[in-house]
Amino acid sequence: AIAIRNYIIDNIGYKDAGFWEAMTRISKYYLMFVTSLMALYILPRFTEISNKRDFKKEVLAFYKTVMPFLALGLL
């Protein structure tokens, strides 16, 4: 990552290297949030479900509640 940033600095400029660094950090934090959400809420909830119908209901409920926030975060 440092080598890429230094390459951008040498060939393009400091401003663009700063943008690249900012996007990299935002991506890391966003991925950390999604991974934590999966590990701490979704997977334990899915293990409690014993039949297909309840599982489908839980997945749809997840999409209805969490996905709009994730989509907003992507924008």
Classify the phi-psi angles of 13: left when phi > 0, otherwise alpha if psi is within -120 to 50, otherwise beta: left
What is the tally of structural domains in the chain? 1
Query: Residue for token digits 């119908």?
Result: 53
Return the pLDDT at 22: 92
Tens of each residue's pLDDT in the chain, 75 residues: 789 989 999 999 999 999 999 999 988 998 898 889 888 888 888 888 889 999 999 889 888 887 888 788 777
Contacts of 8 (CB under 8 A, 6+ apart): 16, 17, 20
Whose tokens are 């991974």? That residue is: 35
**Owning domain of residue 30:** 1-74
Q: What is the pTM of this model?
A: 0.61
Residue 46 tokens, joined: 């899915």
The H-or-E segment that residue 42 falls in is none
